[in-house]
Amino acid sequence: MAGETFPNGTVNEAGHSRVVIVGAGFAGLAAARELGNTEIDVTVIDRRNHNLFQPLLYQVATAALSPADVSEPIRRTLGRYRNIKVMLAEVTGIDAAAKEVKLDYGSSVPYDRLVIATGSEYNYFGHEDWRAWAPGLKTIHEARLIRQRLLLAFEKAELSQDPEEKKALLTSVIIGGGPTGVEMAGAISELGRFMITRDFRKLEPDNMRVILIEAGPKILAAFPDNLVQYAMKVLEKEGVEVRTNLPVASVTKDEVIAGSERIRTGCIIWGAGVKASPAARWLGIEGKAGGRIPVEPDLSVTGLPDIFAIGDTALGLEDGKPLPALAQVAKQQGEYVGKALRLRLLEDKPSGPFRFHNRGNTAVIGRNTAIFDFGRWTLKGRFAWFLWALVHVYLLVNFEKRLLVSIQWIWRYLTRQRGARLIDENAASFVPSSTQRTET
């Protein structure tokens, strides 16, 4: 095909259209796969060398899975496609006039078509200083940090001679009652009670507290009321204290102030809202609904037909309503854009508008319990958890991961064991330091 000019758009020296994809999450990877092994020159740029399966990250934070179980090197995933190059770099800007993506180390990458799939990040609503004490759950680093703080707090509590300090260290606070907050609360409660009963000698399960704080009137706001009521009951049974209508006023190293309550704690987790990546700023356009890039029905950026935005960073509409920031939306948008680019660049054919197919909104509540909302009907309990597990195993990036995670879940289901209860050396500074460390 060298030297041939494709019907639509400019080409590289070999005569191939150049597509650059920024971000190799659910959306970017799905787009890249659709363009794999075609006569299109594809470059995928990501600041991480791995693709991360965020829906299972809470299991890394609560020691059920290891980081490698939920991530895979991007080069490995895309290595089989001869026309795809992978670059490890942070994108810092886009020059839409020159059709170039700017990289952190001063270089730039030219494109004919650009796909922006840079996802979202946690929103601290102007309190950036809270981030240090209340990490969100978006990266492997954060999941390991939470795991570390959680496990160390229990170790410190075991050593503490002060009953009040013991109680504080055994108290975990989760801020934000969305699916991530609820999943974390249930999993921490299960992990903590299991560890105390089985492995610690000087701790009482009754002294452990898991507090889930939500500023709004209900948790799991996107779910119907019957599922929310069910989730509340399960959480209560698991020993989780749910506080709604309680905006947080202050977060420090070992204390959360919410309403009139001052809660001393050994571990704080943030799950209170996300905002889009700064990609709208790169394009000089105004982001909407948390900084998301408004897109047309074909997912091209309004006013910039050669640039597409997909996944969490895009604001797509369906029947006038914003599509949710979910993996299934991101994946479907990636597949759609990949196919649309193939049609346009190789066959000069247009594509119809993107349509989202809702496969059900889900959240895990406690040990082997989940809820599913399919729109017209709902599902809850153990069967919902099996369905959740099936779907999540299926969505994992390759067969090896599916097998590994399935085996670990079956083992954990039968034994309740958590195989990844590891604390890094030199991590003592992550927890309140009122307890003197002694050799055990």
Ligand X SMILES: Cc1cc2nc3c(=O)[nH]c(=O)nc-3n(C[C@H](O)[C@H](O)[C@H](O)COP(=O)(O)OP(=O)(O)OC[C@H]3O[C@@H](n4cnc5c(N)ncnc54)[C@H](O)[C@@H]3O)c2cc1C
* CA proximity to 244, closest of 175, 167, 339: 175
Residue 282 contacts ligand X per CB under 6 A: no
* Among 203-211, 300-308, 325-333, 405-413, the segment contacting ligand X (CB under 6 A): 325-333
Site size for ligand X (CB under 6 A): 34
Q: Is the dihedral of CA 364, 370, 372, 378 positive or negative?
A: negative
Task: Work out which of 326, 345, 370, 431 binds ligand X, going by CB under 6 A.
Answer: 326
Residue 20 contacts ligand X per CB under 6 A: no
Residue 148 contacts ligand X per CB under 6 A: no
Task: Work out which of 277, 332, 408, 435 binds ligand X, going by CB under 6 A.
Answer: 277
* Among 2-10, 296-304, 311-319, 409-417, the segment contacting ligand X (CB under 6 A): 311-319
* Among 144-152, 165-173, 319-327, 379-387, the segment contacting ligand X (CB under 6 A): 319-327
Task: Work out which of 42, 84, 91, 396 binds ligand X, going by CB under 6 A.
Answer: 91
Q: Which residues, 172 to 191, sit near ligand X by CB under 6 A? A: 179-180
Q: From CA 335, how far away is CA 119, in angstroms rounded?
A: 16
Task: Work out which of 47, 85, 127, 339 binds ligand X, going by CB under 6 A.
Answer: 47
Residue 17 contacts ligand X per CB under 6 A: no
Q: Is the dihedral of CA 352, 2, 10, 308 positive or negative?
A: positive
Q: From CA 179, how far away is CA 363, in angstroms rounded?
A: 5
Task: Work out which of 6, 19, 32, 46 binds ligand X, going by CB under 6 A.
Answer: 46
Residue 354 contacts ligand X per CB under 6 A: no
Residue 78 contacts ligand X per CB under 6 A: no
Residue 266 contacts ligand X per CB under 6 A: no
Nearer to ligand X, 11 or 185 (CB): 185
Q: Given the structure tokens 């399935």, which residue do they identify?
A: 406
Q: Are 214 and 243 in contact (CB under 8 A)?
A: yes
* Among 20-28, 108-116, 339-347, 370-378, the segment contacting ligand X (CB under 6 A): 20-28
Residue 118 contacts ligand X per CB under 6 A: yes
Q: What burial class does residue 315 get, using C-beta atoms within 10 Å of its C-beta: 0-12 exposed, 13-18 middle, 19+ buried?
A: buried
Nearer to ligand X, 30 or 157 (CB): 30
Catalytic choice (158, 183, 190, 214): 183
Respond yes or no: is residue 335 known to be catalytic. no
Nearer to ligand X, 116 or 152 (CB): 116
Q: How far is the CB of 253 from ligand X (least distance, A)?
A: 23
Task: Work out which of 4, 5, 80, 90 binds ligand X, going by CB under 6 A.
Answer: 90
Residue 27 contacts ligand X per CB under 6 A: yes
Residue 24 contacts ligand X per CB under 6 A: yes
Residue 328 contacts ligand X per CB under 6 A: yes
- What binding mask, one character per residue, do residues 212-251 give for ligand X by CB under 6 A, x or -? ----------------------------------------
Task: Return the C-alpha torsion angle 154, 158, 160, 162, nearest 10.
Answer: 90
Residue 54 contacts ligand X per CB under 6 A: yes
* Among 44-52, 126-134, 154-162, 242-250, the segment contacting ligand X (CB under 6 A): 44-52
Q: From CA 112, how far away is CA 98, in angstroms rounded?
A: 10
Task: Work out which of 28, 186, 287, 291 binds ligand X, going by CB under 6 A.
Answer: 28
Residue 23 contacts ligand X per CB under 6 A: yes
Q: How far is the CB of 278 from ligand X (least distance, A)?
A: 8
Nearer to ligand X, 143 or 232 (CB): 143
Footprint on this chain of ligand X (rule: CB under 6 A): 22-28, 45-48, 54-55, 57-58, 90-91, 117-119, 137-138, 179-180, 277, 311-313, 325-328, 330, 362
Catalytic residues: 183
